[in-house]
Amino acid sequence: MAVSPWSRFGDDEWRLDIRTSGRRADQNRLRWVVAMPKDARIGIGERAALIHAAKHFLWSMRVDPPAGRKRSSLASLHMKGLILRTLIGWMAIEGLRRFSDIDPSAVDRLCVWLRGRPARNGKARVSPSTVSNYLLAIKDLYRQRTKLSDAPRVDPLPLDTTFEAAGVTRATKGTIPFIPDEVAVAILGEALRWVEEHGETIIEAETIRLRARAIGLATGISRQASYYVRRALRQAHLTGPLGDKLDGAYAVRHAACHLVEACYIVIAGFVGMRVSEILSMKVGAIEYRPIGETGVDQAYVVARLFKTVDHPEGREERWVAPAPVVRAVDLLEQLSAPLRAASGRDEIFLVKNTQYGEIVPVTHMHIGWRINDFARHVGVPEHEGKPWSFSTHQFRKTFARFVARRDRSQLLGLAEHFKHASVAMTARSYVGNDFDLHGLIDHESRAETAAALDQMLTSKRLGGRMGERIVAGNVRFRGRAGEQVRRDYIAFILAETDLRVHACDYGWCVFQQETARCGGEAGPSEAGRAPAVCLSCANMVVEEQHAGYWRDRRARNAALLPRAGAMTAAVLTEAIEQCDGVLAKIGGQYEGN
């Protein structure tokens, strides 16, 4: 029986037909036969029987999964196969000759063994989530027992879920973090600067380098190529994004390499696509479609969606593309043109393999390493005294968090680049049909609401009409004595109501439609909200963290006052008095002249 165009069920190595962009070649191969442990207590024949049973189980998850479960993808089969291979090695040490020998006591011993193993990522021990993956494989073997010749016959986890047995809790789950605000703004700002202000210069330098090198090589003397390149670049007098001269092949190649990284960051940070989707992009990835009958065209990124899609090549999808992303894709097409011409490939994320000299698509691991290299190169600030460790998925989660917060200090920049009429359009429409991202945004929105409520319920000084009401009645929530009461109250609010706290740069909106002065329906109206409107609204809360906005607003109005006419002066004076009132409430008095 064939498991792929290249492998059959009985082969010692399965070469799976996984075409998800960004995967390394070894992540598509599953070697079943590895060296037996030195202290193995089973024979080679017994191990072969376990391998056959493991293959049978995996393929049953592909063609006939448990009731209510989707068919496992080939990528999932690869991951589960690695788990089963390690499990078979442990069974050999334990002297367990069949999967049917696994019972609750064996599961307990497996957990002890797993927790004593060092993790592959450099950590001292494997995480509870890793342990749960092994327990889930055993539980699924039990669930499939009627379809298999060898599987546990008694429930290996009769009393606990796999998460409970593995010790997975909210504290130990180890979710992927979002990028801290100051770090996210720094790296996205630098990436934008490279793409929008310096992309053309780097492309010009790379074009000069390649042409001069070709002329030098045509002389038949390879050393002449470097001479021609240096001379041509020095005559061009080009300067890189960090003020460095692009006067040699090394400087230009490195600038071009970092420009690719900047382009990736812009796409990931301003679209929220997954790494596999971004790396699947090919020439012609930008497509324009008319918006109704407006006569205006909207740009879209065309790429492939792999998650939840059965077909190995994924499904073509479109994401709204703001202007910087359109520019980033154009730069990537220009940068990858020589590699595409040399290889015959059409992807725009390509790299020349230094070991074998072949041109291959950029992998997930490679782009992750390069993002961190870009951050070091441009001097992204440290977080809590050490460099932030970036991963590709963090940009998707950070994008979701910015949208969920409706934080105008961040989203106004996005809205401007997206050419949207309002921040509300950015927050609602930009996510498109990415339902997984919708869920991630909702999760981040709930997290932001919980964090905001926790701050409000412990604060002694708040501004705004809602803030004053909260301070008047939040004594029972303050301090250590009120910590559990506060947690229970916030949990109740999130579980039993649809209350959401919406951020802006001058305060929080504890949104309630019936009292919203801005006229918002599902949330604050960006067209109707403004500092003066919000201060008169029953939903408004201002904290000390917002003091900077109110001090700046006061200073701007005060600077205009001496030259203003009578009517304008009255408006400015009213605005200054509003600022003074808010600052007095939150303890952030104005310190100017």
pLDDT at position 121 is 57
Mind listing the pLDDT tens digit for each residue in 133-144? 999 999 999 999
Contact 276, 363 (CB under 8 A): no
**pLDDT category, 412, cuts 50, 70, 90?**
very low
pLDDT higher than 70, residue 153: yes
Least confident segment among 137-141, 193-197, 487-491: 487-491
Region class of 385: left (phi > 0), else alpha (psi between -120 and 50), else beta? left
Quick one: pLDDT at residue 110?
A: 94
- C-beta atoms surrounding 391 within 10 Å: 16
Lowest-pLDDT range of 65-69, 251-255, 439-443:
439-443
Q: Which residue has the higher pLDDT, 374 or 170?
A: 374
pLDDT over 90 at 199, yes or no: yes
Whether the predicted pLDDT of 416 surpasses 50: no
Asked whether residue 584 carries a pLDDT value surpassing 60, the answer given is yes
Determine the pLDDT at residue 491: 76
pLDDT category, 25, cuts 50, 70, 90? Answer: confident
- Concatenating the DSSP letter of every residue in 302-358 gives EEEE-TT--STT-EEEEEE--HHHHHHHHHHHHHHHHHHHHH---BSSEEE-TTT--
pLDDT value of position 194? 97
Q: Taking residues 195-213, what's their average pLDDT?
A: 95
pLDDT at 173: 57
Average pLDDT in the 419-423 region? 39
- Quick: pLDDT tens for 43-72: 999 999 999 999 999 999 999 998 888 888
Q: Collapsing DSSP states into helix, strand and coil, what is residue 499?
A: coil
Backbone angles phi, psi at 352, to 5 degrees: -90, 115
Residue in 37, 75, 79, 32 with CA at minimum distance from that of residue 55: 32
Q: What is residue 408's predicted lDDT score, i.e. its pLDDT?
A: 41
Q: Across 418-528, where does the E strand assignment appear?
A: 501-504, 507-510
* pLDDT tops 70 at residue 593: no
Express each pLDDT in 538-555 by its tens digit.
989 999 888 988 999 999
* Crossing angle (nearest 10°) for helices 222-236 and 199-218: 150
DSSP state string for 349-377: SEEE-TTT--EEEPPHHHHHHHHHHHHHH
**Which stretch of 186-190, 430-434, 500-504 has the lowest confidence by average pLDDT?**
430-434
Does pLDDT of 170 surpass 60?
no
- Distance (Å, whole) CA 248 – CA 361: 26
How many whole angstroms separate alpha carbon 479 and alpha carbon 182?
29
Q: What is the pLDDT of residue 458?
A: 85
**Is pLDDT above 60 for 431?**
no
* Amino acid making up residue 228: Y
pLDDT at 435 over 80: no
Q: For 75-124, how does the pLDDT look when each residue is reduced to its tens digit (9 = 90+)?
A: 999 999 999 999 999 999 999 999 999 999 999 999 999 988 876 655 65
Residue 442 region, left (φ>0) first, then alpha (ψ -120 to 50), else beta? alpha
Mean pLDDT of 460-479: 86
Do 199 and 327 form a contact (C-beta atoms < 8 A)? yes
Quote the pLDDT of residue 422: 40
Query: In the structure, what pLDDT confidence band is assigned to residue 339 with cuts at 50, 70 and 90?
Result: very high
What pTM was estimated for this model as a whole? 0.71
Query: If we measure between CA atoms, which residue out of 180, 281, 448, 45 comes closest to residue 188?
Result: 180
Sorted by sequence, the CB contacts under 8 Å of residue 90 that are 6+ apart come out as 110, 113
pLDDT, position 592: 59
pLDDT digits 0-9 by tens, 299-330: 999 999 888 777 888 889 888 888 999 999 99
Q: Does the pLDDT of residue 428 top 70, yes or no?
A: no
Contact in structure between 572 and 564 (CB atoms under 8 Å): yes
| pLDDT value at residue 122 | 57
Confidence of residue 427 (pLDDT cuts 50, 70, 90): very low
